[in-house]
Amino acid sequence: MSDYWKNLIKFGENRKKSEFHSVHVQYHDMTQKDCKFWSFGYEGDFSNQEILDFVWEQWNAGSGHESKVFLEKKCRSMMVGDYVSVNGIWHEVLAFGWRIDVPWEEIYGDKPKPEMPTEKAVAKALLAQLDLPSDYPVAFEKN
């Protein structure tokens, strides 16, 4: 057996088994009934963040990678305030990133959303995450 095939077999033996990830999209300005059939899945060894990246790209017109479900539904692109469930954990689209583990009652019930953090709080968290000095200048663009 050639080294090529031996290495290929070795690679296959070291791979983890593929997982199935259940996903559901819920637009914040539509009812649960309106989005009832916006469920699909991904198979592979993906993190939740990778799944969220896939969904964001596939549910936005003009990305060049729109999903079949998105195109068939002829709906608007995903936007801030919309929700994505990955394996039962809800995430909310933020202007930058995702809010993780959003309570069910907030999405489908009458629980109010928490206040969004101030720019100062976001800057502080960003500097800490990047391990930069707290006095490092941070600026935000206004749309």
Summary count for the chain: helices (H), strands (E): 5, 5
Model pLDDT, residue 106: 87
Angle value at C-alpha 63, between 102 and 140, nearest 5 degrees: 60
| Cα–Cα distance list, 138 to 94, 95, 112, 134 (Å) | 19, 16, 30, 10
How does pLDDT run across 80-136, given as a tens digit for each residue? 999 999 999 999 998 888 999 999 888 887 777 677 677 887 788 778 878 889 899
Domain residue ranges in the chain:
3-111
- Looking at this protein, which amino acid is placed at residue 14? N
User: pLDDT at residue 5 above 70?
Assistant: no
Query: What CA–CA distance (Å, rounded) separates 76 from 62?
Result: 11
Model pLDDT, residue 3: 56
